[in-house]
Amino acid sequence: MTMRSMKKIQSLLSLADVRINGDMPWDIHVHDNRLYERVLTGGSLALGESYMDGWWDCKSLDQLFDRIVRAKLEQKAIAIKDLVLDVIKAKITNPQRLRAFNVGKRHYDIGNEFYKHMLDKKMNYSCGYWKDAETLDEAQEAKLNLICRKIMLKPGMKVLDIGCGWGGFAKYAAEKYKAEVVGITVSKEQVKLARELCKGLPVEIRFQDYRELNEKFNHIVSVGMFEHIGPKNHRTFMRVVDKNLKENGLFLLHTIGTRESETVGEPWMDKYIFPEGVLPSLKKIKKAAKRLFVIEDWHSFGPDYDKTLMAWHRNFTENWNKIKHNYDERFFRMWRYFLLSSAGTFRSRRNYLWQIVFSKNGVDGGYQSIR
């Protein structure tokens, strides 16, 4: 059975020019022959878990996943029975609403020190803008400035940041643009550090779900949060933004996206990284915004997320010795797998990064796109 399973896996991998125990950096090196049957029966979840367990290695996981996605192996090797059950579950339930704070506890609350050693100096956990940047710090500051310019931020304006993280945007907008900012997050650890980093500035950081909002803002931004809410809540999210945005205000949505509309997240990512997260599609976003907003600008720069993720991975591995006393080897392999496989999905253009600017009734004279 093991030999037959190995041949099936090798035949599949050969479509992406990937070999078992080969010499190329994207080749897989197997340490436990039980891997083949485990992956054939368990799909992408088993592939990720077996890597975490040390059953296989790859010198360049990012190159491996770039090749796997380009060859569309995910469509050829999907575990049908597991997917069907997940899809049925997603259609009859709304897990994101029932467990809105779950991702905060399981992902963002794993330790502020961990994220300090992985992210840029301003603690931005979303795609940087590398157009004129050479370092991660420069790319993240360029992203923050880009957002402020796109919403035409002026001194004294009141801005809402839905999913504010550690307050990177709030701090930047308050310091550089003299704005007043309210940031909300579902992570208690983020609230604690964000309040510390924004101390003395006109910034309020709240532990709050977006559905609880009921006040008016000049502009609203949401950076890297929309992916968490799930397709059943897209319309609710847009209605909340509409209710809290002044008539002449702008809303900027910064989100990862995909070509295909999905109802469930990737199994391994859902279990270990972002519980209940589902990437939105262009179609889903447009449907959610229908009759509420005018789309003024749609900016796609997904390859910049590849660079951002590779920079995070360098920081993570270079600083591992400083933080490893709080974690174990399986955690280390889990994060390497997450960061590098994600980089591969952006490099292959399986995933996108979009910044979308919305207005309620259209900008008088037209909106001037900013790059």
Domains belonging to the chain, first-starting first, are: 2-78 (no CATH), 100-359 (3.40.50.150)
Residue type for 189, please? E
pTM of the entire predicted model? 0.91
Give the rounded distance of the alpha carbon of 33 from its chain centre. 33
How far apart are the C-alpha atoms of 279 and 260, rounded to whole Å?
Answer: 9
What are the Cα distances from residue 337, in Å, to 20, 23, 179?
18, 20, 39
Angle between helix 136-150 and helix 303-318 axes, rounded to 10 deg: 140
Tell me the longest C-alpha to C-alpha distance in the chain: 69
How far apart are the C-alpha atoms of 179 and 165, rounded to whole Å?
Answer: 18
Whole-number pLDDT of residue 97 = 52
What digits encode the pLDDT tens for the residues 9-64? 999 999 999 999 999 999 999 999 999 999 999 999 999 999 999 999 999 999 99
Residue type for 32, please? D
Q: What is the dihedral of CA 60, 331, 205, 159, to 10 degrees?
A: 20
Whole-number pLDDT of residue 34 = 95
Residues of the chain with pLDDT under 70: 1, 76-106, 263
What digits encode the pLDDT tens for the residues 40-51? 999 999 999 999
Helices and strands: H and E segment counts in the chain: 17, 9
